[in-house]
Amino acid sequence: MDLSMDEHKLIIEFRRLSDSGRKSLLDRAAVLVRQELDRGEPDSPAPENRCSVPQSEKRPETAKEPIFTE
């Protein structure tokens, strides 16, 4: 998993917190998530300039039968 420098710094700071500090931070994050869900607004609306590309080509890695190579 590739993380940015800011994400690495956040993880390091979180690990430095005491147990009570971690709990209070996670409790606050849970409250913020609940507030966002209660608002009912989508997190990130689909951009208007995006289109879907049809998957007409079969991909062997998604087939259910095993792939045999010799």
Domain ranges of the chain: 1-39
d(CA 18, CA 20): 5
pLDDT tens readout for residues 4-54: 999 999 999 999 999 999 999 999 999 999 998 888 765 566 667 777 767
Phi first, then psi: what are they for 10, rounded to 5°?
Answer: -65, -40
pTM of the model: 0.47
Report whether pLDDT(66) > 70: no
